[in-house]
Amino acid sequence: MKLRLSRAQIACGLAVAAVLATPLPGLVFAEEPQPAAATDPCDSAGLADGNVDDANCLTVTVTLAQPPALGAESAVTIDVVTRSHNQDVDLQVELPAGLEWTDAPGDLSVTTAPSTVPMDRGKRHQARGAKSVSQDVPWRLTGTVKAMLAGPAEIKAVAASASDQAQGSTFLTVDATQSTSGITVSSANTVAPITAPATRSNLLWPHKSAGPAAGSTTPTPKTACVTGTWNYVEHTGYTRVTPNASVTALDTDAGGTTTVLATGLTDGDGRFRLCFDNKDTGDTGNGGQDVSVRLSTVNQHWIIQHEKTKKPFDFVTATKANVKNGTTADFGALQPGAIEMMRGVEAFDTLNSGWNFTPGDCWDDNDTQCRQGKINWAPDSKTCCFYNLQEDAAYIDGSGPDTPIMVLHEHGHGLMDDIYDDAFPPVTNCNPHSLAAGSSLTCAWTEAWPTYWGIMVSGDQFYRWPDGRRLDIENHSWGTVMPGRVWQDGDRVEGRVAGALLDLSDNATNEKADTCYEDPRGPLWTTFLNHRSNTFAEFWQHRAQDGYDVGPNMLSCLHFNTIEYGSYAKPSLMANGDFEKGTAAWAVTGGSVGTWTSYRPHEGTWFSWMGGNGVVNTDTTTQQVTIPAGVRSASLTFYLRVVSREAPGTPDDKFTVQVTANGQTSTLATWTSAETTPNYTMRTVDLTTYAGSQVELKFVSTEDAGAQTDFLLDTVELITR
């Protein structure tokens, strides 16, 4: 039974058991006996699990029957599952050069293309296809792969729908006789000489050291030095230098004892030079130290650590024996010796770019003791992609470093959590979320800021996904159309908020309507640093409090991104559209307005829960409103979530939007039990034709005698322009 409690009763904190045991004054039952909520596994109470970006209603798994030895074959199975009721899914399955399809999965089409990603070893085999997937009808494909090259390999599948993206991988190490699952990481990974000249990956921001200088860099008659450079090959195929990596000079004696001789960090060109006392007391009769160099993905400000051991990845050179006094041992230009380790060093360098952009001596310049940013990764990790608020650490999967914006975005959540002193905003309606679709005020802000920060760090206005798709965050405005959908509007859309921040701080040369520019590390950053804004609207208020420009020109740039503040603000014609005043201004049947624990609201605490009976029933939520004459447009927007126990694709239960004007009733929009959604979704209905009229706006849910469908309604607005 669905209980509808009055606002006063909720405030009294009545226990459910007491409510059921004793009928109380003011307790309102639904018109018909109703079952409990149709629990949707995609439902998420914000950040209850402490993970930001973790929830997803779409999953894809890759299963290999057994790791094939070199020249052998093995069956591979790909399973695509949705916990929503229906999603149109595009699937891409990738093999590196070390594997080939002998039987492609299902009816996917296969192509082969060159690849610059080191793990692909020169080329990538791609199998692509699309299918409609439902909760009860998953998509399973089988195929056969053959091992062509020895070494590490990844079979990766990426599934994407309009609202979700998921990827799954399986990793293996191919051997001539006995292949193994996974990729083994050594505690002392090998190094090798670079094979191409190395350059910096990001020239936008000047190098900023992440630690103190290494000390003496000139050998004396009683000292010696080591030098070299540390590099990696990034996913684009270019060789890059690695600044701010930890470097340790080691002496290993004949008995196996290792002594630290000197420590420091690589400079802005990835170069290191460490000097040390060269008297080797550990080996009798030997002259100088027996020196090797250890390079690590760690410094005091950030670390790329193994997701299981929580230790950085170390790379150790061969030993140069008996280095002479007064000399410098040059270890040359080095890079990881194993292709599977390139990604870990690339992730480290990606955060180095973020460090160079971020003002101050800590990620949070107000800190007196700096917090170390943490990224959990492994070359065969399948954990992706989120930030854990309890661990103060992000998680990315094995191929995650190939997508720098994703690394920056997840670390950006940590940056916000650090600057907010662990008072992360109470996020709602965010799992899953989409750049171009409405979510909630808190979700849009907490997702937009990390995206904006990542874009400013990288200088790339596109958000790029692992399967090659991309979305332009900057060049969109009112009515922008993207493949398959239209951008939604307002400050509940994270892409709009990120675009507004970007327009405020870019060079204002690529869009005629963008006339704003300020140093991204100036006013915008200062306000972010000194306030704990829960939404973009709060951030804008805090910006005004700080005395920064919130005038007409700045407001026009927000308006270009469909965010209407100040003189552009358009008040909603709906009264109590968020239901936070209960049924005030609404005529309600079925006791459909209230607050419950079975479902969460879109925002706030109150919402309208219509339907949910599982018997023949009609619920209505109605309000009278006058639409002024002479307006150019009148748009009704609301957030609707549909959860149903009907069989997938069954449209028997309905939610309609009706308007009555001049005695005539029209149904303007309909959603059914076949159109379930994992979260509240912004819906828009055009009411422009009713300008100059007083109308009755009615939301109606109708159920048949079949299974239960819940229609959850919240955040109703009517905006005229």
- For 24-28, 229-233, 362-366, 498-502, which range has the lowest pLDDT when averaged over its residues? 24-28
CB 91 within 8 A of CB 108: yes
Predicted confidence at residue 284, as pLDDT, reads 54
Dihedral sign computed on CA atoms, order 404, 409, 415, 417: negative
Per the omega criterion (within 30 degrees of 0), is the bond before 385 cis? yes
Instruction: Assign 678 a pLDDT band (cuts: 50, 70, 90).
Output: confident
Average pLDDT, the chain: 88
Tokens of residue 586, six digits: 């609404």
Residue 416's H or E segment, with its range, is: helix 404-419
Predicted confidence at residue 33, as pLDDT, reads 26
State mean pLDDT over 162-180. 90
pLDDT at 25 over 50: no
The secondary structure of 19-66 as a DSSP string is HHHS--TT-EE-SS--------TT---TTTTSEET---SEEEEEEESS
Q: Which residues pair with 81 in a beta bridge?
A: 59
Using a pLDDT cut of 70, give the percent of the chain over it: 89
3-state secondary structure of 16: helix
- For 284-293, 303-312, 337-346, 436-445, which range has the lowest pLDDT when averaged over its residues? 284-293
State mean pLDDT over 510-535. 88
Tens digit of each residue's pLDDT (9 = 90 or more) over 416-428: 999 999 999 999 9
Q: Which CATH number fits domain 587-720: 1.10.287.1770, 3.40.30.10, 2.60.120.200, 3.90.110.10?
A: 2.60.120.200
Domain spanning 58-181: which superfamily?
Immunoglobulins (2.60.40.10)
Predicted confidence at residue 718, as pLDDT, reads 97
Instruction: Assign 501 a pLDDT band (cuts: 50, 70, 90).
Output: very high
CA distance 169 to 321: 43
Within 10 A of 184 (CB to CB), how many other CB atoms are there? 11
Tokens of residue 604, six digits: 């706030």
State mean pLDDT over 164-187. 92
Strand pairing of 470-472 and 393-395? unpaired
Q: Which CATH architecture has domain 431-569?
A: Orthogonal Bundle (1.10)
State mean pLDDT over 285-308. 91
- For 215-229, 232-246, 387-401, which range has the lowest pLDDT when averaged over its residues? 215-229
- For 41-45, 74-78, 298-302, 483-487, which range has the lowest pLDDT when averaged over its residues? 41-45
Predicted confidence at residue 43, as pLDDT, reads 45
pLDDT at 287 over 90: no
Predicted confidence at residue 510, as pLDDT, reads 56
CA distance 31 to 52: 39
Phi, psi at 216, each rounded to 5°: -60, 135
Predicted confidence at residue 506, as pLDDT, reads 81
Claim: this prediction has a pTM higher than 0.95: no
| Domain parsing of the chain, residue ranges | 58-181, 188-424, 431-569, 587-720
State mean pLDDT over 620-649. 94
Q: Could you give the C-alpha distances from 624 to 200, 585, 659, in angstroms and in order?
A: 62, 8, 10
Predicted confidence at residue 475, as pLDDT, reads 87
State mean pLDDT over 645-664. 92
Torsion angle (degrees, nearest 10) of CA 702, 707, 712, 717: -30
pLDDT at 625 over 50: yes
CB 94 within 8 A of CB 167: no
Phi, psi at 478, each rounded to 5°: -60, 125
Non-local CB neighbours of 246 within 8 Å, separated by 6+ positions: 263, 264, 265, 295, 296, 297, 298, 299, 312
pLDDT at 146 over 80: yes
| Equal fold, 431-569 vs 587-720 | no
- For 83-87, 136-140, 297-301, 325-329, which range has the lowest pLDDT when averaged over its residues? 83-87
- For 13-17, 182-186, 384-388, 460-464, which range has the lowest pLDDT when averaged over its residues? 13-17
The secondary structure of 224-247 as a DSSP string is EEEEEEEEEE-TTS-EEE-TT-EE
State mean pLDDT over 459-466. 88
More confident call, 121 vs 384: 121
pLDDT at 12 over 80: no
CA distance 287 to 280: 7
State mean pLDDT over 306-319. 97
pLDDT at 128 over 80: yes
CA distance 646 to 612: 11
More confident call, 135 vs 313: 313
CA distance 508 to 519: 12
CA distance 389 to 72: 44
CA distance 55 to 430: 8
Tens digit of each residue's pLDDT (9 = 90 or more) over 255-286: 778 899 999 999 999 999 999 988 766 555 55
Predicted confidence at residue 616, as pLDDT, reads 95
Predicted confidence at residue 213, as pLDDT, reads 58
pLDDT at 581 over 60: yes
Instruction: Assign 234 a pLDDT band (cuts: 50, 70, 90).
Output: very high
Predicted confidence at residue 48, as pLDDT, reads 45
Instruction: Assign 649 a pLDDT band (cuts: 50, 70, 90).
Output: confident
Instruction: Assign 7 a pLDDT band (cuts: 50, 70, 90).
Output: very low
CA distance 495 to 507: 19
Identity of the amino acid at 605? T
Non-local CB neighbours of 292 within 8 Å, separated by 6+ positions: 249, 250, 252, 316, 317, 318, 319, 320
pLDDT at 720 over 70: yes
pLDDT at 21 over 90: no
CB 657 within 8 A of CB 603: no
Predicted confidence at residue 282, as pLDDT, reads 59
How long is the chain? 721
Q: Smallest Cα–Cα separation from 221: which of 292, 293, 275, 291?
A: 275
Tens digit of each residue's pLDDT (9 = 90 or more) over 600-617: 999 999 999 999 999 999
Q: Smallest Cα–Cα separation from 441: which of 666, 268, 680, 172?
A: 680
Instruction: Assign 6 a pLDDT band (cuts: 50, 70, 90).
Output: very low
Residue 558's H or E segment, with its range, is: helix 552-560
